Amino acid sequence: MANLDSVANYELMCVVINYGMGSRVMHKAKQYGISGGTVFLGRGTVDNALSKFLSLYDERKEIVLLGTDNHTADYVSTQLKKDFHFEKSNHGIIFTTSMSGIVGSSRFGDKKSEEGRGVNKTMYQIIITIVNRGKAEDVIEAAEAVGSKGGTIINARGSGMHETSKLFNMEIEPEKEIVMILSKEDITDTIVSSIREKLKISKPGNGVIFIQNVNKTYGIYE
């Protein structure tokens, strides 16, 4: 079994922002104490009429992933919100999820819990669906049919033409799409059930869905 470093007090920050802004987010995050991260491309799917919920239109987006301790995550999230005006429509969103383990990074060490830090009540969950290329729009359609307001689509591929990666025993080969949907907790099960039924996720090779609780969000408008 892999040797997992304890990261009970660490979080993964996800910033979804307009194309071309990812490097600026990384630069600001470094100024505020985060040493590095990853930027990759995606596209929003929300129609203008629904923009007040996620503020993501059908255009290119950049997704920035940053890992840090929860104290720094709170501080950096607040600062990025101010710097990039996430309180305004169509400027982007930030959400954080807890890490349960990490391999291969010496930056994350075990720390004792911080006294006095409040626990944020979970109101949102992130639904991540991996499907074959060309099926992402079907995922969005199934989700919107039961109340979702849209999501972000990310192209994915394996590490080579003759190589595959695996996630929960599903082979992630070239020509895959990842759909990321931020959902209110009370409708997550309904959205997942709709996607599962429409995409026949239970059949081998059709896809995989997993859900994570979201600790904190900025840029969500209802």
pLDDT of residue 42: 85
Is residue 195 within 8 A of residue 142, CB to CB? The reply is: yes
Residue of 177, 179, 185 whose CA lies nearest to 217: 185
Long-range contacts formed by 42-46: CB under 8 A, 24+ apart: 42/16, 42/152, 42/153, 42/154, 42/155, 42/180, 43/152, 43/153, 44/16, 44/150, 44/151, 44/152, 45/137, 45/140, 45/150, 45/151, 45/152, 45/153, 46/149, 46/150, 46/151
Instruction: Determine the pLDDT at residue 80.
Output: 96
CATH 1.20.1250.20 fits 124-213, yes or no: no
Domain regions of the chain by residue span: 10-102, 124-213
The CATH number, out of the four listed (2.40.30.10, 3.40.190.80, 3.30.70.120, 3.30.2350.10), of the domain defined by the range 10-102: 3.30.70.120
Confidence of residue 220 (pLDDT cuts 50, 70, 90): confident
pTM of structure = 0.71
Longest Cα pair distance anywhere in the chain, in angstroms? 51
Residue 83 pLDDT exceeds 60 = yes
Q: What is the mean pLDDT of residues 18-42?
A: 90
Most confident listed range (76-85, 108-117, 207-216): 76-85
Of 42-51, 82-91, 120-129, 175-184, which range is least confident? 42-51
Lowest mean pLDDT among 31-35, 41-45, 188-192: 41-45
Question: Which residues is 162 bridged to in the sheet?
Answer: none
pLDDT: which is higher, 90 or 207: 207
